[in-house]
Amino acid sequence: MKLWVVLCLALLWVQLQNGTCQQAKRKKDVGENRIRPGGKRRPFKPKDGVGKGQSLLTQVLDKGRFLRLGQTTTLTPGKNMELRCKGDSIGWSYPTYLDTFNDSRLSIKQSDKYSQLVLTSPSAADTGPYSCWVIVCDGTECERDHDRTYVSYIYFTDKDNLFVPSAIHFEIVYLRPDRPAVVPCRVTDPQAKVSLHREVPPEEITANRTQVTYDPTKGFVLKNPSPGHQGVFYCKAVTKGTPQISTKYQLLYVEVPSGAPFVSLAVSPESVRGGDNVNVTCSVLGEPEEDVSFTWTYPGQGRRPVHIQTSWRLVNRGMGHTTRLSQNVMTVEDMETIDFGNYVCNAKNQYGETTVTIDIISK
């Protein structure tokens, strides 16, 4: 009996020892998957040291410090601005008037590792978008890398010029039924409170975030322009001081389809004889901002002198619609036999060209 008890106790002791070993082994297995104390994982280092979505466009501060620019930046006018964009082949864009007036205050230099844009003595008029991008080349063909394009809208805040100054004191804004229209009263201070006003009858046009919205980088946006929006408007801005008034804007409603020129050709006088002075008028109706070029083919070309004059004006065509009338007038003095025949006018715009012909016969 005692022997039996001793055997049972021995068997129980063996089972307990096996369980302890297995538990210790499991703990060891788990421990093997952990990071060892003092061990460090190497962080992922993006190419060129710039993380995805970060801008390569920076402002150079004093003492060699750099500031990576965000979507908008506010700077003080009068203090020179230096921007840099990392890369060995960089393109730039900036407010267009700096190119229009060939401004010597702006300079761009390209080095091996970055491109530098410097604007000396910036003013409120320099407010606008500044952007840079990487240029990628394949042999002799180069193009802009849109995935590596960076832009910052820079405000040069001036309390005496809340609106970005304009060389035009009375601007025309065309309203079209198929696209939004912008009243471009941009500000130099993004915190300024801006309102839109009609001159006659005097009223404020409320920005309601649906039909009329305000963007300090663009101005007031009319989502669905109509003939009722025509008239003379201005903007008013205020921060802490006296309100300031913007340039005035003439809003004109336009309803002319885009396309090749619609051309008509007329002769004056209608009855022509030898010795008469004759005007041949080529007329085009089109969009107010649409430039038209004219060319002629006529019987005495290269042998008889003619005078050609080009002009255009805005005209109303009922229901408050505005269109542009472009005309090219050829004058032939003292008509001779060689001058009679077919006069061909070719009118061309960005959408195409149209050719019309009229035959002048001696009466």
Q: Please list the pLDDT of the chain residue by residue as tens digits (363 residues).
A: 555 544 555 555 555 455 444 444 444 443 333 333 333 333 333 344 444 456 689 999 877 788 999 899 999 999 999 999 998 899 999 988 887 767 788 999 999 899 999 999 999 999 999 999 999 988 888 899 988 899 999 999 998 999 998 877 788 888 888 889 999 999 999 999 999 999 988 999 888 878 899 999 999 999 988 888 888 999 999 988 789 999 999 998 876 667 788 899 999 988 888 989 999 999 998 877 788 999 999 998 999 999 999 999 888 765 556 778 899 999 999 999 999 999 999 999 988 999 999 999 987
> Looking at the domain assignment, is residue 98 inside a domain?
yes
- Structural domain range at position 329: 262-360
User: What is residue 10's predicted lDDT score, i.e. its pLDDT?
Assistant: 56
Please indicate, yes or no, whether residues 219 and 267 belong to a single structural domain of this protein: no
Please indicate, yes or no, whether residues 247 and 312 belong to a single structural domain of this protein: no
Please indicate, yes or no, whether residues 149 and 225 belong to a single structural domain of this protein: no
Please indicate, yes or no, whether residues 283 and 307 belong to a single structural domain of this protein: yes
> Looking at the domain assignment, is residue 296 inside a domain?
yes
- CATH number for the domain spanning 285: value is 2.60.40.10
Please indicate, yes or no, whether residues 269 and 296 belong to a single structural domain of this protein: yes
> Looking at the domain assignment, is residue 39 inside a domain?
no
Q: Which residues pair with residue 260 across a beta bridge? A: none
> Looking at the domain assignment, is residue 15 inside a domain?
no
User: What is residue 285's predicted lDDT score, i.e. its pLDDT?
Assistant: 83
Please indicate, yes or no, whether residues 78 and 146 belong to a single structural domain of this protein: yes
Of 122, 156, 190, which one is at a domain's C-terminal end? 156
> Looking at the domain assignment, is residue 40 inside a domain?
no
Report the number of distinct structural domains present in the chain.
Answer: 3
Of 198, 230, 253, which one is at a domain's C-terminal end? 253
What pTM was computed for the model? Answer: 0.63
Of 253, 275, 298, which one is at a domain's C-terminal end? 253
> Looking at the domain assignment, is residue 118 inside a domain?
yes
Please indicate, yes or no, whether residues 136 and 222 belong to a single structural domain of this protein: no
Please indicate, yes or no, whether residues 273 and 356 belong to a single structural domain of this protein: yes
Burial of 282 (0-12, 13-18, 19+ CB in 10 A): buried
